[in-house]
Structure 1
Amino acid sequence: MTLNESSKNLTSAEPVRTVDLLVIGAGPAGMAAAIFAKLRGLDVVIIEKSEMIGGTASTSAGTLWIPENSQGKQIGDKDSITQAAAYLDSLIAAHTHRTDRQRDVYFSTGVEAIDVLQSMTEVKFLPCGEHPDYHAKAGAAVRGRAIVPAPFDARMLGRDFERVRPPIDEFMIFGGMMVGKMDIPRLLGRFQSLGNFIYSARLFLRYLTDRLRFSRGTRLVMGNALVARMYHSLLKLGVRPEFGTCLGELLVENGRVTGATVAGPSGTARISARKGVILATGGFAHNAGYRERLMPQPTPKFSLASTANQGEGIAAAEALGARISETENGSGGFWTPVSVTRRKDGTQGLFPHLSLDRAKPGLIAVNRAGRRFCNEADSYHDFVEAMYRSNDPDSAIPTWLICDGTFIRKYGLGHIYPGTTDLAPFLTSGYLVHGETPEALAKKLGIDAAGLEATLSRYNEQAARGVDEDFHKGHSALNRFNGDPQVKPNPCLAPVGTKNVYAMAVWPAEIACSAGISTDEDARVVDGDENPIPGLYACGNDMASVMGDSYPGPGTTLGPAVVFAYRAVNAAARERYD
C-alpha cells in the first residue's frame, strides 16, 4: 500500500483526542522520545502494548556508546570524536550518503542528548572507566566511550515499580536480587575480608527488607536502572504510558502521517498527532516472517528480545511504502551466544555468554569437527558471526564450550556460578555434559573425537607458552580486559585438563535487531526513493541501525536509541502543519 492509497482508509469520525506527538512503544527509545517531547513543551501520548515498561533493555547491561561523553571527561578520560568516527568508518564496509550523515549527527548530537537527560531528568549516568571498544582498529579506545546508568532505588516508584519489566531470572540471585558486574567479586569473596562481608550483608539485608513490600529487590542496576529512571522521569513530568494499548494503523491525510488508531482496554480509539508519530515498538525480533527475511540462515531459533517485539512498527511503516534496510551481509541482528537453561519451575531460559566465561583462561569453543574456529574472547557479536561462518561445512550451531572442572569452580560457566562444586543438577538437566576423557565427551556430543583431541593438544601446547598462534586469544585490549589478570603471561590462556572435561552448548541469539526501517539523519522514515514520509519517525530497534552490521563497542544499541529519539523530537517540534 502506498502513502497516497492509505489515505483512502480514513473515516469521517472525529478523533478521540488530539496531541502534538504520539509515541508508540515504552522501551528506552520511546520513553526517551516522550521525555524529550515533554521537555520541549509538547503534548505527548505514549502507548505500550504490554503491561510493563522497558522492553528488551530492561534485561540488558544498560550501557550506552557515546564518544567524548561528559561523564568520562569528569574523571579525566580523553576521547576524540574524530578518532571515534574513523574507528566506526573502518568497521562499516558499505557507505551511503544517508548513513554517513546519520553517523555524523550521531557523533555531533550524542553528548548533547545525554547531557539534557542528565541535567533535566532523573536519568543519570556514570562513566565506565576502562571498557574497551570491541575491535583493534585505528581510532579504537580503551576507555571514555561507554557510560552506564546510575543505580536506582525503585522504592521511589512505589506501586509503579511493578510496571518495570524485571531482568531475566538468570541475572538475579535469591529469586529476585539484582547484582552488577562490580558486585560479583565482592559477593564471591564475602568471607575473604571484613569489607566484602559487610558489603554483601548490606545487599542481602536490603533485599530481605524489599521483599516485605515488593515482588523483587528494589536496588536496580544496569538496564533495569536505566528504564526505571526513564519511567520515574516520565511520571514526574506528568506523562503516564497507556499500557495494554497497541498500534492499529497509521492515519494519513494529504500525504502526511497524522496519527494512528490504537486498541486498548477501552476498545479502539483514534489519536490525532499534530507533529507526527514516532515508532519505537522494539523491532521484529519475534516476527517469524521478518526473521526469515532479514536474518541469516539457518534462522536463529532463540532471541533475547522482549516477546512483545512483534514488528508492528516496521509493518505499519512498510505498509506506507517505507524502505526496510537489510544489512550488508544479511546479519539482521546484534548477536550473543546463549545457553539454554532449565529453570526450577520447568520453563526454559536463556543465559547470554557476554564476557564472564569465554575470555577466561582454560576454555575453548569447538564446532562439530572438534575444531576451534574463532577467538573465544572476542565480542559476543563477533563470536556468533564466526559461528555462522563456520557452520558450513563444519557446523558450529550449536557450538560447544569445552573446559575442565577446575575452570568451572574458579570462573563458572554460563548459569553455573563460580565456586559451584556440585554439578549434578546441571548434568542431570543436560545443561552441562561430562566426559572422563575428551574422546568420551566427544562421543556424547556427537562431534569428531580425533578432531577434539588434536585441537586440545595444539591449544594446550600454545596455552603453556601464552601465545595463541591460531586465533590470537588474549592479544586485544578487549580480550585482556575480560580475562584473568592473575594469569601470566596471557590472561586469556591456560591449558584445558584432559581428564574430567565438560561441555556446554551455545546457540546464536540476537539481543537487538540491526535491520529495520530506513530513516534520515533526523530519524524521519524514508521511502524507497529515500524521501522522508512526512510526520513519521522511527528510533530504537524499529530503526535500521546507524552501525550497519558492525558492533563497535558496549552500548551499540542504546546509544543510538536515545540520540535518534532526541533528533526525532527536535525535528518534529520544528515542523509546522496547517
Structure 2
Amino acid sequence: MVESEWDVVTDCVVVGSGGGSMCAVLAADHAGLQTLIIEKADVVGGSTAMSGGILWLPDNPVSRAAGVVDSHDDALRYFAAVVGDEGPSTSPQRTEAFLAAIEPMVEFLAHQGVPFRHCEGYSDYYDDRPGGKARGRSIETELFSPDLLGPWLEKFRISETLPPIPLRTSEVARATVANRTLRGAWTVAKVAGRYAAAKLSRREVRGSGAALQGWMMLAAIRAEIPIWTGTPVVDIVLAEGRAVGVVAERHGKLVRVRARCGVLLNSGGFSHNETMRKEFGRSPASTAWTVANPGDTGEVIQAAMMRGAAVDLMDEAWWIPTSVLPDGSPLYIVYERAKPHGIMVDRGGFRYVNEGASYMEVGRTMYERNKTVPAIPSWWIMDAHHRSRYLWGLTPGGFTPRNWISSGYMKKANSIEELARLCKIDPTSLRTTVENFNSNAVKGIDPDFHKGERAYDRYYGDPRQKPNPCLGPVDKPPFYAVAVYPGDVGTCGGLLTDEDARVQDTDGQVIPGLYATGNCTASVMGRTYPGAGASIGASFVFGWRAAQHMIVTKSMDLAAASTSTDGQWQT
C-alpha cells in the first residue's frame, strides 16, 4: 500500500483523549511531530476528566518545592514494599522508567502552562511501609475555568457526579468535617467565596479532573493539535509486523489513518463490557457497580489482542467499595469509611478489614473474603452519630432522603439485632462484633484491623474524635445499614508494555510502532494503589515515554524502513 492510499497521514495517532493522551501529543507536537487524537466519545477528556484529577508521582519537583523530603531510593523502597513483583508489568525496568520520566515530564507540562500544586497531607496509602510519605506524593492543578476552552467547551467532558463548585480534590477531606472543625468550616467558606466570585463574573470554575484535563486541553488547543470526536477506532493496521495506522469510523464512513511514527492506545479498560468481565474478571462483578467512564468497553484491547498483543492482570480493577442508590446509580464510598461510629461486616456479621484503608485494598479484601465467607455484598453498619454528623456521598449528615429508607437502600432499626434481621445477618454474631469493636473503640484502638493507625486512614477521619479520629463506638440508635459491593473506577489489566510503553506480543517481543498507556494496559502499580492518583500518574508518564520513543526513532529506522529508492513510501 502506498501512502496515497491512506485517507489521512500523520506521524503520531493517539486513540483516546485521557490524560496520558494529552501528555503524549503535547510532547510529540513540541518535538515537531504531526499528531492526531481520535476519540470515540463525543466529548474530550476520558476517564481523567471524571476523576479527582490527581497524579501520584514519587520524588516530583512540585512536592519537593513544597518541602516534601523524597528521593529515588525512597520511591524504590516503597515500590518494593507495596507493589512488589506482579509479573512483567511491574518489572524493575518499568518501575525505573516510571520514576526516571517524572521530573522531565512535570517540568515540560509546567512550561506548557499546566499549573501544578502539591496536595498537602494527602498521604501515601501505605505511609507506614518503607519509603512511604505521610505528606504524600500527589499533585493536582490549580482550579480551571472551562470558559477558557472557547468553542471547544461543548466538546469537553465534565463529570455529572461532581458538583460545579471550585473545590480542589485535596480540600475534600477538610470539607467533609465542615460541621465539626473550624478548619473544615473555613475550607467550605473559601469554596463558597470562590463560587460567589465566579457567579459574579459569569463564569464557571472547576477543580478535580475537570481542572486537570481543562489545562491539558487548553494547551492542546493552543498547539492546534487536531482532535476527532465521535470516531471509534475499529482496527489496528499492521504491515510486516509493524503497526502503521488505524481504521476508524468517522461520519458513517471507514477512514484509514496512517501513523508514520506510531500508534498510541489510551482507550481505557473494559469496566462496561460484561462479556469481557465474565471472561477475564473477578466474580461476582457487575457493570451496575462501576463508576468508570461509559466508554470503557474494551474493543481496542480486543483489537490489539487480535493483532497478537499480550495481556496481563485482566482480573484486576481499581476497586472501590460502592453502594447502589434507589435509582440504580452507583455511589462509591471513600471518606465515609474512615469516619468513626461505623464498621463493615460480611454477611455472617463479622468485620474482616480495616474500613479506613485504601479503596483498592478494601475491594480486593472483599473478594478474598468472599472465597470462604459470603461477603458480596457486605454491609456498612453505622449509628446515629455517623448519620447525623457525616456526609454520605454528597448528602449532608442529619438528612436522610425518605426514599433511601422506603426503597430499602438504607435500612434503619432501633437495635442492632433488628438491623441484623433486616440485613439477613445473624443477630447474635453482629451483636458480638459490635460489642467487641465498641469496647476497643472507646479506647481508640483496633487490635483486629488497626483502623486509624495510618496517616491515610486519619486523613479522612474526624479530628474531633479522640483519641483516634477513625474510631467511635457504634452505640447510639437508630442504627443504619447499607449494602456494599466491590465497584470500580476502571479496570487496570490489559496490554503488556515495556519501559517505553511499547506493546508486547504473546512471545514477549515488541510490536514495533504500537504503544499503550492508561487503563488499557497492565499497570506498573500491579495489584495495588500506592497513593492518590496512581493510575493517572502512570498514564501520563507512559504516554510521555511513548512520545519520547517516537521522537527518537522518527529519523532512524522508521524513516529508513518506510522510504523506497524512488522516495515513495510502501510496504
Query: Scaled by the length of structure 2, what TM-score is found?
Result: 0.91
**Quick check: 1:20–1:273 contact (8 Å CA) kept in 2?**
yes
Corresponding residue of 1:526: 504
Query: Any idea what SS the aligned residue of 2:442 has?
Result: helix
Do structure 1's residue 398 and structure 2's residue 389 form an aligned pair? Answer: no
C-alpha offsets along residues 40-63 of structure 1, whole Å, 9 cap, x if unaligned? 111011110001112222221111
The offset of 1:512, in angstroms, is 2.5
Following the alignment from structure 1 to structure 2, what is the Cα–Cα distance between the partners of residues 384 and 138? 23
The yes-or-no answer on 1:250 pairing with 2:229 is no
Deviations along 1:243-296, one digit per CA (max 9) or x if unpaired, are: 111112111223211111111125211111110111111122222232123321
The alignment status of 1:81 with 2:72, answered yes or no, reads: yes
Tell me which residue corresponds to 1:275.
Answer: 261
1:324 paired to 2:311: yes
Question: How many residues align structurally?
Answer: 550
**Which residue is equivalent to 1:562?**
540
* Contiguous gaps of at least 5 residues in structure 1: 1-9
| Aligned counterpart for 1:536 among listed residues 494, 514, 518 | 514
1:436 and 1:308 mapped to 2: Cα distance? 43
Contact 2:496/2:504, CA 8 A, preserved across alignment: yes
Q: Deviations over 1:300-323 (max 9, x none)?
A: 442121111211221121111111
| Cα distance in 1, alignment partners of residues 4 and 408 from structure 2 | 58
Structure 2 counterparts to residues 9-408 of structure 1, below 5 A: 14-94=5-85, 96=87, 99-119=91-111, 121-135=112-126, 136-169=128-161, 171-172=162-163, 176-177=164-165, 179-181=167-169, 182=171, 185=174, 188=178, 199=190, 201-206=192-197, 208=199, 218-265=204-251, 267-301=253-287, 302-326=289-313, 330=315, 332-342=316-326, 347-354=327-334, 356-408=335-387
Instruction: Check 1:333–1:184 CA distance in 2 against 1; reply closer, same or farther (3 A cut).
Output: closer
Residue 4 (structure 1) aligns with:
none
> Measured at CA, do residues 531 and 111 of structure 1 come closer, stay the same or move farther in structure 2, by a change above 3 Å?
same
Residue 299 and residue 97 in structure 1: after superposition, are their counterparts in 2 closer, same or farther (change >3 A)? closer
1:7 aligns with none
Q: Percent identity?
A: 31
C-alpha distance after superposition, 1:143-164 (max 9, x if no partner): 2411112211112112322222
Distance, in Å, in 2 between the alignment partners of 1:313 and 1:32 is: 20
Tell me the secondary structure at the aligned position of residue 393 of structure 2. Answer: coil
Once residues 419 and 22 of structure 2 are traced to their aligned partners in structure 1, the CA distance between those partners, rounded to angstroms, is 49
Q: In the alignment, what sits opposite 1:6?
A: none
Q: CA distance change for structure 1 residues 235 and 12 in 2, over 3 Å: closer, same or farther?
A: closer
Residue 452 in structure 1 maps to residue 430 in structure 2: yes
Q: How far apart are residue 412 of structure 1 and its match?
A: 2.2
Query: In structure 2, how many angstroms separate the alpha carbons of the residues matched to 1:161 and 1:560?
Result: 27
Q: Secondary structure at the match of 1:492?
A: coil
The whole-number CA distance in structure 2 between the counterparts of 1:13 and 1:116 is: 35
Return 530-539 or 250-259, whichever deviates more.
Answer: 250-259
Which whole-Å CA distance do the structure 2 matches of 1:196 and 1:132 have between them?
19
Which digits, 9 at most, give the CA deviation of each residue in 1:169-226, with x for residues without a partner?
Answer: 2x31xxx44533526756945998997786355344346558x7xxxx7211111111
Q: Using the TM superposition, give the Cα deviation of residue 464 of structure 1 relative to its aligned residue in structure 2, in angstroms.
A: 1.3
* Structure 2 residue identity aligned to 1:496: V
SS of the residue corresponding to residue 152 of structure 1 reads coil
Could you tell me the TM-score, scaled by structure 1's length?
Answer: 0.90
Aligned in 2, Cα 1:528/1:461: closer, same or farther, shift over 3 Å? Answer: same
Aligned mates of 2:274, 2:172 — CA distance in 1: 38
**The residue matched to 2:25 in structure 1 has which SS?**
helix
How far has the Cα of 1:370 moved from its partner? 0.9
Partners of 1:209 and 1:313 lie apart in 2 by 44
Over 3 Å counting, the alpha-carbon distance change for 1:487 and 1:186 in structure 2 is closer
Deviation at 1:423, TM superposition (A): 4.3
In 2, Cα distance between equivalents of 1:202 and 1:326: 45
Whether the 8 Å CA contact 1:433–1:441 is kept in 2: the answer is yes
Q: SS of the residue aligned with 1:219? A: coil
Q: Is the Cα–Cα contact under 8 Å of residues 125 and 357 in structure 2 kept in the other structure?
A: yes
Change (3 A) 1:184 1:542: closer
Could you tell me how far apart the structure 2 residues matched to 1:566 and 1:510 are?
26
Residues 261, 373 of structure 1: alpha-carbon distance in 2 compared, 3 angstrom cutoff: same
Question: Aligned to 1:507, what secondary structure does the other structure show?
Answer: strand
Q: Secondary structure at the match of 2:337?
A: coil
The alpha-carbon deviation at position 463 of structure 1 amounts to 0.7
Paired residues for 1:485-496 under 5 Å: 485-496=463-474
**In structure 2, what residue type is equivalent to 1:249?**
D
User: What's the Cα RMSD here?
Assistant: 2.4
Q: Quickly say closer, same or farther: Cα 1:516–1:422, change in 2 above 3 A.
A: closer
Provide, for residues 489-511 of structure 1, a one-character-per-residue CA deviation record: whole Å limited to 9, x for no partner. 11111111252101112211121
Q: State which drifts further: 152-161 or 459-468.
A: 152-161
For residues 158 and 184 of structure 1, do their structure 2 counterparts lie closer, same or farther at Cα, with a shift above 3 Å needed?
Answer: farther
Mean CA deviation greater in 230-239 or 282-291: 282-291
**SS in structure 2 of the partner of residue 370 of structure 1:** coil
2:568 maps to what in 1?
none
Preserved CA contact (<8 Å) 2:83 2:530: no
Aligned-partner Cα distance in 1 for 2:47–2:175: 28
Does the C-alpha gap of structure 1 residues 508 and 144 become closer, same or farther in structure 2, counting only changes over 3 Å? closer
CA contact (8 A) 2:165 2:191 kept: no
Q: Is the 8 A contact 1:77 1:129 kept in 2?
A: no
1:565 alignment partner AA: G
Q: How does 1:428-439 map to 2 (within 5 A)?
A: 428-439=406-417
Q: How does 1:405-484 map to 2 (within 5 A)?
A: 405-418=384-397, 420-484=398-462
Residue 5 (structure 1) aligns with: none
Report the equivalent of 1:3. none
> 2:15 touches 2:38 (CA, 8 Å); kept in 1?
yes
SS in 2 for 1:417: coil
Q: Which amino acid aligns with 1:322?
A: A
1:404 CA drift (Å)? 1.2
Shift of 1:484: 1.6
* 1:360-419 Cα distance to aligned partner (Å, 9 max, x none): 11110011111111111111111111111221332111111111122122112234323x
Kindly report structure 1 stretches of 4+ aligned residues shifted beyond 4 Å: 10-13, 95-98, 183-198, 206-210
Q: Is the 8 A contact 1:191 1:197 kept in 2?
A: no
Aligned residues of 1:474 and 1:493 also touching (Cα < 8 A): yes
